Structure 1
Amino acid sequence: MDKSDCILIVDDEPEIRRLLVDYLARNGFEAMAARDAREAWHMLAHHAVDLLVLDLMLPDTDGLTLCRDLRAKSSLPVIMLTARGEETDRIVGIEMGADDYLVKPFNPRELLARIKSILRRTRALPPNLQPEPVRCLRFANWCLDTAERLLIDPDGVATPLSGGEFRLLRILLEHPNRVVTRDQLTEMIHGREAEAYDRAIDVQVSRLRQRLHDDSREPQLIKTVRGEGYVLAASVLAGNTCP
């Protein structure tokens, strides 16, 4: 890291805030903490934050609402912390735009590994796009602006994507008309093997279909290959300009 990446911890438990800020600082990051959504918005407005670690339960609002509101205006990576291991909580977190999730109690080393993995994948350019990075990927009258991480619809309206949505769409666009398995997608997007009953990828696919107005009952763009994974059923044209 040329500069210390800035991680914002949003959690209402003082001990967790102190523990994580100290641990991340000792591992080369600039770390800050907020106890609620109000403080988080203030810090986001005044600091260049690279990744948000967000607790599900906050005193003034819930983390899901904060994540949803943030995702409407930013592609800042988000790791959601949840005190419960219920699958529903994890699924809703991904639906709101979180890039990954971690269930409390957790080992700080695992959080550190997740942070490094997400930052690496957020910034990495696939080898087949070097040394001349492609700015725009066009498909089925849609465009993905890879520089700004925006999805541009046929009418020219741009929408910011979460880190997970962006990486998922980009992977599918780089392998058009080819099946990519759920395990492959999990490894490429989250940097870890799929856990048993882990539905994060399925939820992100569903969210991406909504973005693309692709009917989940009879999808035309992102099709499900039962027992295998997903395939982007469209031709892709790479270019250096977007609408």
Structure 2
Amino acid sequence: MQDIQVLIADDEKEIRDLLQKYLQREMYKVDVAANGEEVLRLFDQKKYNLIILDLMMPKIDGIEVCRTLRNKTNIPILMLTAKDEEVDKVLGLSIGADDYITKPFSINEVIARVKAHMRRFLILGSNGSSVHEETMIKFKNLTIDVKKYTIMKAGEEVSLTAKEFELLKFFASHPEQVFTKTQIFRQVWGSEFVEDDNTVMVHIRKLRKKIEDDPSDPKFIQTVWGIGYKFVGEKDES
């Protein structure tokens, strides 16, 4: 099994040390950074598989670091936020973070989320695929290549983050089925820790902007009022 490289970025040494200690126990290779500039420098020097990124950091804050990283990579980015930073949490998700963890956090929750994100990212990003899993999911004007980890809309490649890809793949693999926000979170994020609806809602909104002709009148990912969401698409059997 390949070494999994994790970068932890937080200006509080106690949090860096705690996360590093427990992630190393899980056999991850862990580096730490105390500010945004250090994150970007380390990222350019080494290939990481996942980043835990504090929202409030000196020199360059987590939002700007996340935005910069998203222009370079689709690896999972988990943001650490304080409970009173609701607007910033939504902003972080909207510019590319895959998930957020609220301080003070349970270390078991962090480990569970890291494992879930890495399991999904490494499977989706690998060159292999399950024998029983479709490697190409085709709908009219939309093609999902599970093996190559790419999305094509009307012949043009669409750039998605790892979590956006997982979300779309989940929906497209279960057409016409209605899922609640909680069901979606548990299936795509792989965690029982559901704090609120923002994570699912923000990712669906971002995904609609990328795959829908008119995000305000979505044809693929439709809202089922009072319940949740479903994926609707005309299958392309060619």
Cα deviation code 1:26-79 (max 9, x no counterpart): 231111011222222222222221111000012122212221222233210011
Q: Does residue 190 of the first structure (1) align with residue 189 of the second (2)?
A: yes
Identity, % of aligned positions: 34
* Match runs of 1:8-87 below 5 Å: 8-87=7-86
- The two structures have a TM-score, normalised by structure 1, of 0.86
Alpha-carbon contact 1:85-1:103 (below 8 Å) kept? no
- Superposed structure 1 runs of 4+ greater than 4 Å apart: none
Flag the 1:107–1:195 CA change in 2: closer, same or farther, 3 A.
closer
User: Higher relative CO (CA 8 A, sep ≥ 6), structure 1 or 2?
Assistant: 1
Flag the 1:93–1:50 CA change in 2: closer, same or farther, 3 A.
same
* Match runs of 1:100-115 below 5 Å: 100-115=99-114
Flag the 1:77–1:150 CA change in 2: closer, same or farther, 3 A.
same
Alignment gaps of 5+ in structure 2? none
Flag the 1:170–1:46 CA change in 2: closer, same or farther, 3 A.
same
- Partner-residue secondary structure (3-state), 1:52: strand
* Match runs of 1:1-243 below 5 Å: 2-124=1-123, 130-131=130-131, 133-159=133-159, 161-193=160-192, 195=194, 197-237=196-236
Alpha-carbon contact 1:214-1:222 (below 8 Å) kept? no
- Partner-residue secondary structure (3-state), 1:122: helix
Alignment gaps of 5+ in structure 1? none
Alpha-carbon contact 2:150-2:157 (below 8 Å) kept? no
Q: Give the aligned residue type for 2:108.
A: R
* Number of aligned residue pairs: 234
CA RMSD of aligned residues (A): 2.3
Q: Give the aligned residue type for 1:157.
A: E
Alpha-carbon contact 1:7-1:32 (below 8 Å) kept? yes
